[in-house]
Amino acid sequence: MSGKLGVPNYGPMERIVVALAGNPNSGKSSLFNLLTGARQHVANYPGVTVEKKQGVCRYQDHEIVVVDLPGTYSLTAYSMEELVARRFVLEDKPDVVVDVVDASNVERNLYLGTQLIEMAPPLVFAFNMADLAKRRGLVFDLEQLSRLLETRIVPTVASKGEGRAALLEAILRTAQEGRKARIHTVQYGDEIEEQITRIEGVVREWEKGLAERYGSRWLAVKLLEQDEEILAQVGRPEVLDVVDKSVRHLRGLFRDEPEIVMADRRYGFISGACQETIKNSVERRHDASDTIDAVVTNRVLGLPIFLLLMYAVFWATFALGEYPMKGLEWLFGWLTAAVSGLWPVGSESWLRSLLVDGVIAGVGGVVVFLPNILLLFLAIALLEDTGYMARAAFVMDRLMYKIGLHGKSFIPMLIGFGCSVPAIMATRILENRRNRLTTILVIPLMSCGARLTIYSLLIPAFFALHWRGPVMWSIYLIGILLAVICAKLLRVTIFQGETMPFVMELPPYRVPTPRSVLIHMWQRGWMFLKKAGTVILGISIVLWVLASFPKPDARDLAGLDETQARQVAMSHSVMGRVGHLIEPAIQPLGFDWKIGTALIGSLAAKEVFVSQLSIVYAVHSQDSSDVLSAKLRASYTPLVGFCILLFCLISAPCVATLAITRQEAGSWRWAAFQFLGLTALAYGVTLVVFQLGRIWL
């Protein structure tokens, strides 16, 4: 029977459900859009917060329902995404599964492919990014590969809309053929195959239901791999007993987990199949990548290379950033003078004070960091786009895994030593939300650049020369230690859940395109500017009001010079009063109202602590910092000095950090949690140190 246009008609099937599987970034979403014209319905998979995208298209009188599965590298039971994808294929039994393969990276993508083959659904491979593969000089013998994989292969270029008709055609044909009876594509070698056959026998006997639902071979493979989800479904001790014996037998034979040996066999199969059917007519890029990787992910050399590169990035950020930063400082200086000049000399105007001391000083103090931030993001974009970042994460993973974080978390934490704001933005490289939130929450414990201004004032003021280095070092170290402890605590309490064993995908090295690098950099920089323009502007005005009103009587100021007048005004203002108000609360830490006032000011930006102190201590702005140091030394003991350092390190992050936390975590609740948690931690730690110090010193 023939269809309208002479195309064969595949029978009465009306509605075909197609599931799109594939590695992240293989072009799944693009292909989804190509098939469905982006008409989609988004919901969650039942019971989990993994997004389920669904769309419909018509093809030759068939209604084709396309479901976009979560992007995964594998189909183990280790992550929610993998479980969701696997369950959909097994339980919902779509009519066809399309595995979207990045054709420029077939070997890595086919790991998922072989696992799908083993599940034996009606399967089609879409070799997407065929354009990229061609440009790389890859030549495929698709006919042969299709035979080896026992599966149809259709080349597509989803981003340019090529291959739609051929793919739909293949989907129809495959849907009509239905499930394959037996799949023996990947062979695991005599010893393992023997155990598979043995287990297949017992499951067919004792677990008929499961064997019918999943296929006995797949079931046996998963049981040998000790897959938790599948093991949990097997009730018969007869089966578990045989599985246990088989696993122990293989473990003894290979001196390794069967799961690992089997993964190796799959890789071996893929590697062999690719070698036979894919030729590289240009250079051996893959080999070049491997050679570089042998060095940069080396057990011994990996870490030093990474640290050196990071050092270079920070050095470049601050060294090169200094010139444009000077320019911006000059610009804001000029703006200050220009705005001040609008009023006659010596006249008092609240509007001038608001503009100069509030708006320009507040926003300017943050915007001057823009060059640093742009440079830092440029460097990160470069490292990401070349493919090095994945290696860095790989190198750091063994350490980070111990505190329950992903290797990639290390990068934002490192950036945190510069500034928490870009650091928190950089957590976007983390895909797992729990990981990301944990990292965001502890980032402020990394001593940022603004805190350095506090350290450089207080440490020389209270400590003799030979103590300064160790004190500074200990402050940084305490921050790191607390971050590690907090991260671990968060991971075992509110962010409990799977810490995935790290399946590291090492993409081949690439020469980054200037366009994508610049766009990356600019997008992040623009977000930062928007923040300065809105939140920081607002907060600066609020703080200015708090520090300026109510004004003292003119009588109280009579006979005082300008600096003394500012001191009296500060003490009289809301901020000064709040400082007095909280004095009883901070006295157990060794602090008085003056420090309290400065701490409140430091909420706006940590460096404000220093300028606030110079106001409450009536130090002329043109005096050198030695004057302030001397006054501090006369007022407090070194123990109090150390406690101030501690408190500034740990306590409430600045407003910009809180605002960015809200934005990136998606709710004020997380910002509030961060604020309260860190402040409480600071209070606790400082209290213990001060009280113990008082007894012992």
Among positive and negative, which fits the CA dihedral 514, 369, 527, 353? negative
Check: CB of residue 43 under 8 Å from CB of residue 52: yes
Tokens of 678: 């860190």
Check: CB of residue 435 under 8 Å from CB of residue 405: yes
29 touches Mg ion (CB under 5 A)? yes
C-beta atoms surrounding 506 within 10 Å: 15
- CB nearer ligand GDP, residue 154 or residue 199: 154
22 touches ligand GDP (CB under 6 A)? yes
- CB nearer Mg ion, residue 156 or residue 297: 156
24 touches ligand GDP (CB under 6 A)? yes
131 touches ligand GDP (CB under 6 A)? yes
- How deeply is 224 buried, as exposed, middle or buried, from its count of CB atoms within 10 A (0-12, 13-18, 19+)? buried
132 touches ligand GDP (CB under 6 A)? yes
109 touches ligand GDP (CB under 6 A)? no
- CB nearer Mg ion, residue 23 or residue 195: 23
C-beta atoms surrounding 177 within 10 Å: 12
Which part of the chain contacts Mg ion (CB under 5 A), choosing from 23-31, 111-119, 222-230, 563-571?
A: 23-31
The whole-angstrom separation of Cα 652 and Cα 650 is 7
Which is nearest to 544 in space by CA: 575, 582, 567?
Answer: 575
State the Cα torsion 191-196-198-202 to the nearest 10°: 160
The whole-angstrom separation of Cα 604 and Cα 657 is 10
- CB nearer Mg ion, residue 29 or residue 151: 29
The whole-angstrom separation of Cα 352 and Cα 522 is 33
629 touches ligand GDP (CB under 6 A)? no
Tokens of 475: 């402050």
612 touches Mg ion (CB under 5 A)? no
Among 89, 112, 157, 356, binds ligand GDP (CB under 6 A): 157
436 binds, among ligand GDP, Mg ion, none (CB under 5 to 8 A by kind): none
Check: CB of residue 675 under 8 Å from CB of residue 653: yes
Which part of the chain contacts ligand GDP (CB under 6 A), choosing from 125-133, 280-288, 342-350, 363-371?
A: 125-133
Which part of the chain contacts ligand GDP (CB under 6 A), choosing from 138-146, 156-164, 623-631, 638-646?
A: 156-164
33 touches Mg ion (CB under 5 A)? no
Which part of the chain contacts Mg ion (CB under 5 A), choosing from 22-30, 323-331, 383-391, 416-424?
A: 22-30
26 binds, among ligand GDP, Mg ion, none (CB under 5 to 8 A by kind): ligand GDP
- How deeply is 91 buried, as exposed, middle or buried, from its count of CB atoms within 10 A (0-12, 13-18, 19+)? exposed
The whole-angstrom separation of Cα 278 and Cα 60 is 34
364 binds, among Mg ion, ligand GDP, none (CB under 5 to 8 A by kind): none
Among 16, 18, 21, 26, binds ligand GDP (CB under 6 A): 26
Residues in the chain: 697
Return the bridge partners of 162, or none. 157
Give the orientation angle of helix 562-572 with respect to helix 608-616, to 10 degrees.
110
Check: CB of residue 443 under 8 Å from CB of residue 423: yes
Task: Tell me how many residues contact ligand GDP (CB under 6 A).
Answer: 16
Give the orientation angle of helix 465-492 with respect to helix 449-462, to 10 degrees.
140
53 touches ligand GDP (CB under 6 A)? no
85 touches ligand GDP (CB under 6 A)? no
50 touches ligand GDP (CB under 6 A)? no
543 touches ligand GDP (CB under 6 A)? no
- CB nearer ligand GDP, residue 127 or residue 214: 127
The whole-angstrom separation of Cα 95 and Cα 65 is 10
- CB nearer Mg ion, residue 99 or residue 227: 99
- CB nearer ligand GDP, residue 25 or residue 54: 25
128 touches ligand GDP (CB under 6 A)? yes
- CB nearer ligand GDP, residue 157 or residue 393: 157
Q: Which residues bind Mg ion (CB under 5 A)?
A: 29
Q: Which residues bind ligand GDP (CB under 6 A)?
A: 22, 24-30, 71, 128-129, 131-132, 157-159
